[in-house]
Structure formats: C-alpha cells, structure tokens
Amino acid sequence: MSLRMKPSKIGFLVTTVILVAAALYSTLAVTVFKSRTRIDDFVSTAPRVAPPSAPRPWEARQSAAVQRSVEVVPLVKEVLRETLSQRRARLGVKALQLEDMKFSYFLLNNPIIKEEENLYGTVRFMHKKHATLLNDCIICHHYRPADPAASEATRCSACHQTAFNPESPGRIGLKGAHHRQCMGCHKEWNKGPVGCTDCHAKNVPAHSELIKLTRKPEPTEVTKECLRCHDAQANEMLTSTHWLWKGPSAFTEGEEKRIDLGKATKTINNFCINVASNWPRCTNCHAGYGWRDASFDFTDKTRIDCLICHDTTGTYKKDPQGAGMPDVNVDLIMVAHNVGKPSRRTCGECHFSGGGEDPVKHGGLNPSLDFHSTSSDVHMGGLGFQCHECHKTRNHKIAGRSLALPVAEGSRTCEDCHTAVPHHGRELLNHHLNRHTEHLACMTCHNPVYAKHNPTKAFWDWSTAGDKQRKVKKNEFGIPDYNWRYGDITWEKSVKPAYAWYNGKVRRYILGDKINTRGVTLLTEPVGDINDPKSRIYPFKVMGGLQAVDTVNNYLLVPHLFGPGGYLEDLNWTKAFADGMAAAGLSYSGQYKWVETRMYLGLPHEVVAKKFALSCVQCHAGLKTERSCGRCHQDKRDVDFKKLAFQGIDFKLAHSKESDTQDLLHRTYYIDFEQLGYKGDPIEFGGRFKKLPLGWRSASKKE
C-alpha cells in the first residue's frame, strides 16, 4: 500500500473530518441552545446576568421568534395562586424588572391553538413595548408555578395549553388566555387592538377546489367566478379608491370635504402629468380591466381585477399598455386557483413601479422591499411584514395616505403600534429620543437615506424632449441621461431626504389652478410650521421638473403622451396639449411655455432599525466635541458617551456596500436647522418651544 493518496481521497478525508466536526459542534450548539431556551429560566433564581449589550441582528430576532412560537413546553400543573398585592409583597425588591426580559419580540403561533381550528395567521407581539408601558411584569405574568425552583415568570403556554382539560377544569386554554389577557387590557385601557383582524390575518381557504373555471377564461370571466361568492366584496371594491382612483381628500388643505379628487380626475404630477387621454398606459395599474377611455363603466363588477392584488403565484402580470388587462401569457386558472392575501409583491406590482418602472417615482417604495434585507426596511425586510399588516384594510378600503395623491381611506402612523414614546426599554438615551418624537417624525432619523438600492428620478425636464439627434450619455447608474421622447431626466440613489415641517395636511395643486408665476410651482407641499405644535420634521423626496403651462390661462397643461397621436409618437406638443386638455375638460389657448414644478413625496417606507438610524452627532455636530454626558448629567464613568452619541448609520459601511453615500460620509448638520426655522442647532440655540438646558450657545451669543 502506498502512502501516497489520490487527491480525491484526501478530499474525501478532509470532508469527512469537517462533517464530523460540524455534527459535533451543532449537537453541542443545540444542547446549549436548548438549555438556554428552557422557559423556566426566563428569570433565573441565580444572580442576574447583565443582558448582552450588543443588539442582536434583526434576522435572528425574527427567526428566533418563529422558532419560539411553535415550541410546546411541558404543562405547569400547579401554580401558586396569589393576588397581585400578595405577589408584590412576596417579591419585594426582587420584583421583575425590564432587564429580566429575555425576548423583546414574540410571534404567537402556538400549535396548541391550531389543534382545533386554524382560521388566522400569526400574531406579532411587542413584548418589550408592553413591558415598558406597563412597567410591571406581574400584571400579565399573573401567577407563578408552584414549584419554588421554577422561574418567577414563564411564558403563557407553560400554564395555558389545551382548553377544557378535565384534569384542570376552569383553567383556560392558551387561546383564551392570550385573548383575555390582551383584549381585556386593551379594552380596559381603551388602547390597542380588539378586533379579530386587528391582530390576525385571516387564513385564506384553498381555492383550487372552489373555483370552477375550465377552458382558457377571459379575465372578466375569472372575476365573474369570484363574484359567485364574493359579491359583497365586489361591492366594497366598487367604492374603493383603488377602483375609482378618486375618493375622500381629507388631508388636502382646503379640500377636506371633497370626494372627487384623485388620479382619475384632477391630480397632476411632474412625471407623466395626468391620466386624461393617457388611459391605456396609466391604467395598467388600475385594479380593473379595460379602462381605455373616459367611458369606462365604474359600476361593472366584472371588470374588477381581483387577481392583481390576490395573486400568490407571482406570475400575474398586467400588459403595460393594456389598460389594465393581464398579459396574454398569464395562466389565469392557475392564478385563480392560488388566490390569497395580498403581499408585498402584489402591492409592489403597481406601487414599486409608480411612474412606469421600478422606483421611478417613489424612492422609498422599490422592489428591494420585497427581499429580506434588513438594511432596506426593518419591517418588510427584517420582520417579514406584508403591506397590509400596517395598511389595515377593511372592506377593501386600505388605510394610508400619500402626499402624491389626495385620496385616503384612513391613516396609519408609526405611533399606532410604537406609541408616542417609541423608544422602549431603559437604555440610556431613550429619554432623549422619546423627547424627539414631539418634533421629529420617526422616519426623520429612521430613514436617513432613500432609494437605497435603486436609483430614482429626481428631476424631469420635459422641455428638452424631441431631439432625436442629441448624443446620449449614461450616468453613474448606467441609465441614459436623455431620451428624445422624454427629455432630460436626472437620477439619484441613496439620497438624503429634504426635511420640512409637516402637520399631516398637504397643499396641493389641482388641475386648473393658477400656477405660481413668481417661482417654482409646488404640486404638493407639506403644510406645517415651526410654530405649529402639531407639525413635526419629516423627510421628503422632492421631485423637480419642467412641464408645460398654458401661457394665457396660466395653468398646467395635460399632454396626450401615450398611444396613437400622443406626443411620444408624434413629438407634437401643440397637438398633444390640445388632445390632453380636451380629454381633461379644460380649454387650451394653444400657447404654452415651460415652468419648473416641484412636488414633495413622503418617505414612510425604507425604515431602518436603530443600528442604521441617524446618530446624535449627525445632526447635532456640537456633541462631537463633548466627551461625556457631564454637561448636563452627573458624570458616570461607565457610560461611553462617544459610543452613545455616535451609534447609528455608518455611511462608510453603506458606501462599501454599493450605496451612493459618499457625499454623506462626513456630513454634519444632516438636518438643516436654520432652513427649518431654528436659529441653529436646537441643543445649542434652544428648541422651538423651550430652551434646553444645553442651550449655551444662545446665551453666549447674546453677550
């Protein structure tokens, strides 16, 4: 036998060794993990160990929560029955503290509940938030196991399992325990959700058996099949803004009571301007079939496109020019058999590609949200949220508002879930951060750059369109900077938002309004003022553009762009404006000129966790020179001031990961305080309503 081995054999040996090692290691890891996740040591009787200071990565929290949610632990048979005060008295100084909390986030999805019936999906439970707000663990952890060795607080499912167990009659099951504990409190405090679908998403029954479509059906035939059972839902849909493209404009200043504004009527933007005369192209995002012209019948239920929202296969596509008709290659039966709840993908089908293509219009709404990336959006990426989990939908009316559009079927804010004091826990700084929420929207810090992964349009100059001869250059993203059809378009990626005061109302240009002859016409503008307590600083994408105005009538013009006779084919502005204005029902004098317009677009998505949020020093540069908290607080040695003040988004790291953040690298005064109406950095010059103790600069300036 030769000592020399063949390379393949060496490879084999090495692989085996590695495998064995891996197996041993994983066994060990599992053992350790198991012992750690025993519910009994939620609070161990052993001396407390300080919680790990470094925040766990987001992915791990979600996956760990998923894992925890399906664990079934042995039933605690005997509990120590005490009243709240007895328990408090017994525990004394050993009372449970926030620091004892092991998990800040739970998913409630225990198989015990689903044994008998399985109607609803997983529930998210913000443990830390509840713990912080209640500040008393034993309100929820009401009894402890009778076994003295057990921990003081156990998970719900340790005591509450199957309902109606004859061995412990009267002890309610897990489902009842969850509901009573949650809803009881929510009702008592008039806070928190109490409706079924406020916490749960309904499971959709499999439709493959229910749907009876045989041959290759027309899209409207599919809808008819849906209507067989869902007529009521279709009626809801008929009055929804996704169908009508108009609706209540409660948040548009001066137009609060109107219900006729919307994309379908008088909303205008500086992308493709307006829907009138451009239907087949624009309405490919309409949740309906065949809105080709103004004669579309909005009472015809069979024209509702159910599948665009309820597709789960990801194969359903609309024809981009088809007035909302699906692509001919889509297997409608297959899609219909697999209908389900809307998802990021189905919503994104239209909302990610606003303006015609992916993130052209809304920098913060882009396909990266559909991929599990925590750096893109903490909810959708890190925690796997679907759109409808925030945008609560009732009767096919979807809550949420936008600056770009006047219609709103309800409103959602971060505070709905995170409360007005969203920085839970007892971490240092939380107090300061929670004070910020009076003046800053969450996104201001938690969305420091938008269009992180895909470039978005920033400026669109229609006036230069039509030059087929012009040489086209490519910008840094590889996108042509000019198109003879569209004109000059500027693109940006990883953009620092613009900041403005915003109280929730929008000042809006409505088709037919006079333009601002002295300067830039604002198509949308947040209403707010530094002196308005309801206003807070919000981040915005500001889209600029040059578009045509009727020089006689002084209002913006609607061009007919798409389709036969449209500008994109004929390159004839006069004809395009005449056609477009006719379709929009406004007169056109025949003369036009180009003016600059600007519109504010909100950035409520692409929210990042604290790890990627703005740090203190990025706005408050004055802090960079401080060494400790000692200027205001009694100094404590073990507090690392630098670490606190500097923790947050690292643009260098972002840049290394292909984010276009070079220009932000050493930026201070991220927010331009003076432009917002402050004298300067509020920690130096004082806040808008009161002087901070730290306002030394204003005092010194006076001297």
Partner 1 sequence: MKINRRFFLGIGGTMVGGALIVRPKKARAVRKPKAPSDPYGCLMDLTVCVGCRKCEQACNRVHGLPAPQVSFDDLRVLEHKRRPNVTAYTVVNRHYTGKLDERNLLIPTFVKVQCMHCQDPACVSACIVGALTKKDNGAVHYDDSKCMGCRYCMVACPFQIPAYDYHDPLTPQVRKSTFCYDRIIKVGGKPACAVICPVEAILFGKRSQIIKVARRRIKNDPGRYLDRIYGEYEVGGTSWLYISGDPFEKLGFLDLPSRPIPHLAETIQQGLFSYLWAPLSLFAILGGCMWTFNRKQIKGNSEPERMEDNS
Q: Does 163 bind partner 1 (CB under 8 A)?
A: yes
Name every residue whose Cβ is closer than 8 Å to that of residue 346 and which is 6 or more positions away in sequence.
308, 309, 310, 311, 316
How far apart are alpha carbons 159 and 223 in whole angstroms? Answer: 48
Q: Residue 699 carries which side chain, given as an amino acid letter?
A: A
Q: Does 75 bind partner 1 (CB under 8 A)?
A: no
Q: Does 176 bind partner 1 (CB under 8 A)?
A: yes
As given in the structure block, the two tokens for residue 636 are 């404590």
When binding is defined by CB under 8 A, the residue of 96, 172, 309, 515 that contacts partner 1 is 172
Q: Does 703 bind partner 1 (CB under 8 A)?
A: no
When binding is defined by CB under 8 A, the residue of 52, 166, 478, 564 that contacts partner 1 is 166
Smallest gap from residue 328 Cβ to partner 1 (A): 35
x-or-dash string of contact with partner 1, 232-261, rule CB under 8 A? x-----------------------------
Smallest gap from residue 639 Cβ to partner 1 (A): 42
Number of alpha helices (DSSP H) and beta strands (DSSP E) in the chain: 25, 14
Q: Does 180 bind partner 1 (CB under 8 A)?
A: yes
How far apart are alpha carbons 477 and 454 in whole angstroms? Answer: 9
Asked whether 537 and 296 are in contact (CB, 8 A), the reply is no
Q: Does 209 bind partner 1 (CB under 8 A)?
A: no
Residue 331 CB neighbours (<10 A): 12
Smallest gap from residue 177 Cβ to partner 1 (A): 8
How far apart are alpha carbons 336 and 156 in whole angstroms? Answer: 39
- Smaller CB separation from partner 1, 396 or 505: 396
When binding is defined by CB under 8 A, the residue of 2, 74, 117, 299 that contacts partner 1 is 117
The rounded Cα 685 to chain-centroid distance in angstroms is 34
Question: Vertex 68, ends 62 and 70: CA angle to 5°?
Answer: 110
Number of residues this chain uses to bind partner 1 (CB under 8 A):
21
Stretch that binds partner 1, among 167-175, 412-420, 438-446, 691-699 (CB under 8 A): 167-175
How far apart are alpha carbons 611 and 445 in whole angstroms? Answer: 11
Stretch that binds partner 1, among 170-178, 304-312, 352-360, 446-454 (CB under 8 A): 170-178
How far apart are alpha carbons 24 and 56 in whole angstroms? Answer: 25
Q: Does 226 bind partner 1 (CB under 8 A)?
A: no
How far apart are alpha carbons 508 and 403 in whole angstroms? Answer: 9
As given in the structure block, the two tokens for residue 36 are 């750690």
Q: Does 196 bind partner 1 (CB under 8 A)?
A: yes
Q: Does 92 bind partner 1 (CB under 8 A)?
A: no
How far apart are alpha carbons 516 and 200 in whole angstroms? Answer: 48
How far apart are alpha carbons 604 and 446 in whole angstroms? Answer: 10
When binding is defined by CB under 8 A, the residue of 126, 140, 194, 542 that contacts partner 1 is 194
Q: Is 465 helix (H, G, I), strand (E, B) or coil?
A: coil
Q: Does 77 bind partner 1 (CB under 8 A)?
A: no
When binding is defined by CB under 8 A, the residue of 142, 179, 317, 435 that contacts partner 1 is 179
How far apart are alpha carbons 157 and 149 in whole angstroms? Answer: 18
When binding is defined by CB under 8 A, the residue of 169, 700, 702, 703 that contacts partner 1 is 169
Stretch that binds partner 1, among 113-121, 352-360, 364-372, 613-621 (CB under 8 A): 113-121
Q: Does 116 bind partner 1 (CB under 8 A)?
A: yes
Q: Residue 405 carries which side chain, given as an amino acid letter?
A: L
Residues making contact with partner 1 (CB under 8 A):
116-117, 119, 163-164, 166, 169-170, 172-173, 175-177, 179-180, 183, 190, 194, 196-197, 232
